[in-house]
């Protein structure tokens, strides 16, 4: 399946597949093929079917070898991936390709991308990101392509980097605006040679949070944390 966020998006990506198969590769058209109905059949028995993510009921039932989700950041991935697509892929041990941009650091696409970078991530997950200006077929002058210059004039830096720089926009309520998962998140472990400090943000109805860190010169490394809701300081003290 090739899946778009809506009908127009699905038509766009399916039309691209149609042009490659029949115009560039010159495959013979098989019985039942229809560009309008987004059905494409190949001589080896394979099929490419266009689907829309805004109709989850249409994403169940078939066993699949591969799904390609274009503009995945516009889809309800937290629902259609585990509920519809993953079961269909499991029957044939199929794969998935998510294509999209980041829309904030809390988006479904960003979470999937970030999870694939974790040390505990299974080997069958990989994630990649690169800024739009590295695609020289679309932006032949790279970062200095005129249309990108225009976008930089009309967007904030955060908006531009989210849309074209493959960097998730920071939550406007974030305290540390410079935080970058790629730069600031890595494996950190307890080191008995270093002093331990705790930063506490108490709360009862809100979250009670504690970060546990080492301080090594000017470098601070957080190696543990505590986070809970509806607890008192006495409860947290017993845990820590």
pLDDT digits (tens, 9 = 90+) for 3-16: 999 999 999 999 99
Higher pLDDT, 198 or 182: 198
pLDDT digits (tens, 9 = 90+) for 86-108: 999 998 999 999 988 776 555 77
pTM for this one? 0.66
Task: Give mean pLDDT, residues 183-194.
Answer: 83
pLDDT digits (tens, 9 = 90+) for 112-170: 777 776 666 667 788 888 899 999 999 999 999 999 999 999 998 878 888 888 776 65
For residue 72, pLDDT beyond 60: yes
Per-residue model confidence (pLDDT) at position 7: 92
Task: Give dist(CA 167, CA 158) in Å, integer.
Answer: 8
Q: Which residues contact 196 (CB under 8 A, 6 or more apart)?
A: 190, 212, 213, 214
Q: 169 and 103 in contact (C-beta within 8 Å)? A: yes
**Mean of pLDDT over the chain:** 85
């Amino acid at each position: 399946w090739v899946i778009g966020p809506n009908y127009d998006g699905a038509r766009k990506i399916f039309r691209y597949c149609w042009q490659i198969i029949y115009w560039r590769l010159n495959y013979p058209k098989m019985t039942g093929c229809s560009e309008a109905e987004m059905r494409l059949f190949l001589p080896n028995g394979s099929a490419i079917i266009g689907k829309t993510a805004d109709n989850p009921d249409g994403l169940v039932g078939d066993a699949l070898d591969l799904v390609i989700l274009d503009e995945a950041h516009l889809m309800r991935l937290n629902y259609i991936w585990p509920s519809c697509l993953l079961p269909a892929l499991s029957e044939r041990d199929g794969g998935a390709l998510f294509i999209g941009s980041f829309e904030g650091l809390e988006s479904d696409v960003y979470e999937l991308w970030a999870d694939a970078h974790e040390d505990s991530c299974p080997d069958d997950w990989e994630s990649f990101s690169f800024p739009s200006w590295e695609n020289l077929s679309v932006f032949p002058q790279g970062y200095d392509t005129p249309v990108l210059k225009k976008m930089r004039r009309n967007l904030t830096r955060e908006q531009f980097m989210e849309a074209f720089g493959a960097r998730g926009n920071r939550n406007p309520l974030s305290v540390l605006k410079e935080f970058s998962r790629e730069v600031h998140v890595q494996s950190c472990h307890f080191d008995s040679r270093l002093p331990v400090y705790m930063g506490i943000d108490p709360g009862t109805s809100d979250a009670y949070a504690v970060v546990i860190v080492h301080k090594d010169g000017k470098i601070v490394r957080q190696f543990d944390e505590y986070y809970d809701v509806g607890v008192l300081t006495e409860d947290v003290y017993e845990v820590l």
